[in-house]
Structure 1
Amino acid sequence: MSFRSEPLLWIHLSGLAVVPICLDVCLLGLAVGDPVLPIWSELALVANMGVVPVVWMQLQRPFYIFALLAITLKHEKLTTQQRQILSLINTRINKVLTVLAGVLLVTILWQLYQTAPVVTLTLFPREWRILGLLLAGCSFTFANLFFQIPVSVMRVLVTSDAEFATIKPYPQDKIAPDFTILGLQVNQLLPKLVDTHTEN
């Protein structure tokens, strides 16, 4: 079975649909009250909250994609093909894509900041500006998370079958220290519809 049939690749790719929603919430946060800090200070606050943690994670210990919500597949249960996918995720190319994606999202944040005065929310007191910035920062963090993970997944999906066949499986003993693994670890994450993902 092709590595592209791995359902979690497509589940994480679908996370892109959440990005516009997170950016809308970020815009609403930026629209609360009038600026209380210099423009670059407010931008730096939101950008640092949203970009730095996610980019740092992806550069140092990429997100372990064999997870769904708060449940994670034990790395000892990964097939050879799944460990090959991890090898593709933890590469220099993906780290470059991570940085580029972060720069792109900061550019989008600047556009949102410029648009915010047009949609200023007069329902909230001006004193709530700090709370609005915190809301913007939190939603921007999720926007980055739901953008960065699909970017790393797309790198896997565009790999040719011939190239994938040459990829060495990620060493099992290095998965835990090299990837960010969150959630309750289980032996099986999704039902096996077709029993073709067997260990070589």
Structure 2
Amino acid sequence: MDIVSGTDLAPVARRDLSAATDMFGAPFLTVHRVNLHTELMRPANVSQGRIEFVDGTVKHADVIVGADGLRSAVRSAVIRDPRHAELLSTGFRAFRFLVPTDKARSDSHDARGTVQNVVGIHPSTESATDAHEQMVRQFEHYDQNLVQLLRNSKDTNCLPLPFMKPLSSWTFGKVVLIGDTAHPERDHVE
């Protein structure tokens, strides 16, 4: 993975991810969040484990995966301590939008896959009233290829990047917590 400067697209760092399989038992992959959610929501055909939903529906499974985000009902069900639900400010927010790869190719130097996830992290604790305009202003000093991509974006969000006190474990019996449910943190900042 190549990491480049936003101001001039000069290389900043290169991360060799080829050892991921040896270290973690699987290769380094990126997955579109919608696809991950779709797979996690597929009903399991098993006879053990139990989860009851708000509407009264009961499901049984070998493993229950808590992947319901920052305000996780699954985390609250297995950890009764309210301190582990408190979201703390990092002082950062992230502008985020998706752009079709064909569009990104015409605006930038590199694109793979079918959709590119564009995230611009910046110091701020305030909500963006006009996220698109604020994003363009925040990054207007960056490489003009990137600025043009930002100008052409649609449906820009500006989201807080909270964190939470670390949990002692991400597994609780047949429940495993993943993603923001387990460890909300400033993604790619540290």
Whether these two folds match at TM > 0.5 is: no
Tell me which of the two structures has the higher relative contact order, counting C-alpha pairs closer than 8 angstroms and 6 or more residues apart: 1
Higher strand share: 2
TM-score class, shorter-chain normalisation, is: under 0.3
TM-score (norm 1): 0.22
TM-score (norm 2): 0.23
